[in-house]
Amino acid sequence: MDRATTRRSWRTGATAGVAVSTLLFLFAGCSSNPATSQQPGPTDPLTRSATAATAMPATTVPPATVAPTTTRTVQPIAGAGGLGDVAFPDLGNGGYDVASYTITIDARPDDPSIRATTRIDAIATNDLGSFHLDLHGFAVRSVNVDGSPAAFTREGDELIVTPSTAVLDDADFSVDVSYDGVPDPLHDPDIGRVGWIDIGPTSYVVGEPHGAHAWFPGNDHPSDKAIFEFRVSVPTGVVAVANGTLSEQRAAGATTMWIWDQSEPMATYLATVAIGDFTIQTGVGPHGLPLRNVFATRLAAAAADATARTAEMIEVLESWFGPYPFSTYGALVVDDGFGFALETQTLSLFPRSIAVRTTASQRIQVHELAHQWFGDSLSLSRWQDIWLNEGFATYTESLWLERTQPGYDIDREMQSFANKKYGPITHPTSDTLFGDAEYERGAIVLHALRRTVGDEIFFAILRDYATTFRHASVDTAAFVSLVSRHVGRPMNDFFEQWLNAPTTPALPSR
């Protein structure tokens, strides 16, 4: 997200105990879905038998014995309703890991309601008597698990599903949720509405940080990435776009279904759909990378002019961070006046104000493009490490200007950030997640690192970081560890000072 937005004040109910235990757990290097409650679920304990399989070469004659049979007790639990993220304790759910979402939506510009089915293919990480999905609003019509009707209840923004038989640990299972109604965006005092935003002839999505579950049910936390397919039906003549690549347009009578595939893993908050009067402009980027921009038709000429340097930007960022991590890129410019931009994966979302040829517009475009590496390909294990997204994207703005704008002085800009005397940045609350400190002190940290280790090591670090954690999850500890390896000594104290000293130390000179 670009930093036109500043403070947020969404309150959570995190307790100190939850905060400490989650911090330790995540810094221990765990990946997705760490939290699962241990209470027995409503389903009776089951037992199941499994035959131990022994792999052997095909040429070996099997011995004439029966393979041993093992029996274990299945004690289904209730999957947890949150992952204990310090900033958003209720986001995400325990007990499973989503592999893919197939989101089927019927939407019309003249109708504020949508009719939708979301299919979730997941793998259980426990024996599950019940499990949660995050979902805000809508009337849920049915929930099927592996094709069979399942019981469900709603508790706030939790959809609690009890399948007719327990889902066994490590099993693949599917969930189909059918729902409809007028989307009810969640409110954020600084970002504004997040979720499915309907402005009349156009609808679009704002997902960060907690808006995804206001338009589709799922595991709404960036630590559980999945691939997505979007099947969006609109009246023929209306354009429907989403992340990834258009695989098919299927006309049926007066309706056309647009099918978009996001085949690389994606965090839920980066999922996007837009419908309305759009013009799709295609092009080619570096090494044949397909580009597709989606412009509100009224703005198409100005937006095309403003975004004319996208291919060049990708090429320059690739020279620093390594190959662009996805199979396509482009800008979605909506004819609306919101005060932010968002790095929706492969299709960054911009308001109409981007459609001007100015340095400010360029900075925002570079910022969202940088997030495709830092934020999208490398996504957060926990929201509190947001500086790994925003500090990197903000510093990339400055790198771009240093490269392309004669007279731009990056040291002077970083000093201007330092003069603001930001406090520590690795423990933001949901109130301060998008505060300027995460952006500007985050950028200062990277600049201090660059001036300390020199350009050669610094850019090797950025490239290695983007490559090592491509399409994976990151936290501050992982970055510090990688930097320490490059520098050849522990850099924990360096980062502790630059990230968390009461104010930033004096910037090293060039």
Q: How far apart are CA 445 and CA 418, in angstroms?
A: 10
- What does the block give as tokens for 344? 């929706």
Query: Which residue's CB is nearer to Zn ion, number 234 or number 393?
Result: 393
Query: Which residue's CB is nearer to Zn ion, number 198 or number 440?
Result: 440
Tell which one of 205, 294, 393, 453 touches Zn ion (CB under 5 A). 393
Q: Report the 10 Å Cβ neighbour count for 200.
A: 10
Q: Measured from the CB of residue 368, what is the shortest distance to Zn ion in angstroms?
A: 7
Q: Measured from the CB of residue 438, what is the shortest distance to Zn ion in angstroms?
A: 9
Instruction: Work out whether 386 is an interface residue with Zn ion (CB under 5 A).
Output: no
Q: Measured from the CB of residue 398, what is the shortest distance to Zn ion in angstroms?
A: 14
With residues binned 3-state (H G I as helix, E B as strand, rest as coil), the percentages for the chain, rounded to 5, are 30, 30, 40
Q: Measured from the CB of residue 191, what is the shortest distance to Zn ion in angstroms?
A: 12
Query: Which residue's CB is nearer to Zn ion, number 390 or number 440?
Result: 390
Query: Which residue's CB is nearer to Zn ion, number 158 or number 397?
Result: 397
Query: Which residue's CB is nearer to Zn ion, number 1 or number 135?
Result: 1
Query: Which residue's CB is nearer to Zn ion, number 3 or number 132?
Result: 3
Cβ atoms of 425 and 438 within 8 Å: the answer is yes
Q: Measured from the CB of residue 393, what is the shortest distance to Zn ion in angstroms?
A: 4
Instruction: Work out whether 1 is an interface residue with Zn ion (CB under 5 A).
Output: yes
CA distances from 306 to 38, 120, 302, 364 (A): 54, 38, 6, 11
Beta strands in 75-157 (DSSP E): 77-78, 96-108, 111-124, 128-134, 139-145, 148-149, 151-155
Q: Measured from the CB of residue 41, what is the shortest distance to Zn ion in angstroms?
A: 40
Q: How far apart are CA 329 and CA 365, in angstroms?
A: 12
Stretch that binds Zn ion, among 90-98, 226-234, 265-273, 388-396 (CB under 5 A): 388-396
Q: Report the 10 Å Cβ neighbour count for 419.
A: 9
Cβ atoms of 82 and 223 within 8 Å: the answer is no
Stretch that binds Zn ion, among 74-82, 254-262, 392-400, 488-496 (CB under 5 A): 392-400
Q: How far apart are CA 321 and CA 136, in angstroms?
A: 37
Query: Which residue's CB is nearer to Zn ion, number 220 or number 390?
Result: 390
Stretch that binds Zn ion, among 207-215, 386-394, 425-433, 454-462 (CB under 5 A): 386-394
- What does the block give as tokens for 506? 């004096």
CA distances from 412 to 317, 416, 436, 484 (A): 22, 6, 18, 27
Instruction: Work out whether 342 is an interface residue with Zn ion (CB under 5 A).
Output: no
Q: Measured from the CB of residue 504, what is the shortest distance to Zn ion in angstroms?
A: 20
Query: Which residue's CB is nearer to Zn ion, number 1 or number 177?
Result: 1
Q: Measured from the CB of residue 371, what is the shortest distance to Zn ion in angstroms?
A: 6
Locus of tokens 């089951």: 46
Taking CB atoms within 8 Å and a gap of at least 24, the contacts of 22-29 are 22/84, 22/85, 22/86, 22/382, 23/86, 25/84, 26/381, 26/382, 26/475, 27/475, 27/477, 29/477, 29/478
In the shown chain, the binding pattern of residues 273 to 292 toward Zn ion, with x for contact by CB under 5 A and - for none, equals --------------------
Query: Which residue's CB is nearer to Zn ion, number 1 or number 191?
Result: 1
Q: Measured from the CB of residue 394, what is the shortest distance to Zn ion in angstroms?
A: 7
Compute how many residues bind Zn ion; rule: CB under 5 A: 3
DSSP line for 208-254: TTTTGGGTS-B--STTS-EEEEEEEEEEBTBEEEESSEEEEEEEETT
Stretch that binds Zn ion, among 1-9, 405-413, 414-422, 488-496 (CB under 5 A): 1-9
Stretch that binds Zn ion, among 175-183, 223-231, 297-305, 393-401 (CB under 5 A): 393-401
**Which residues of this protein are in contact with Zn ion, per CB under 5 A?**
1, 390, 393
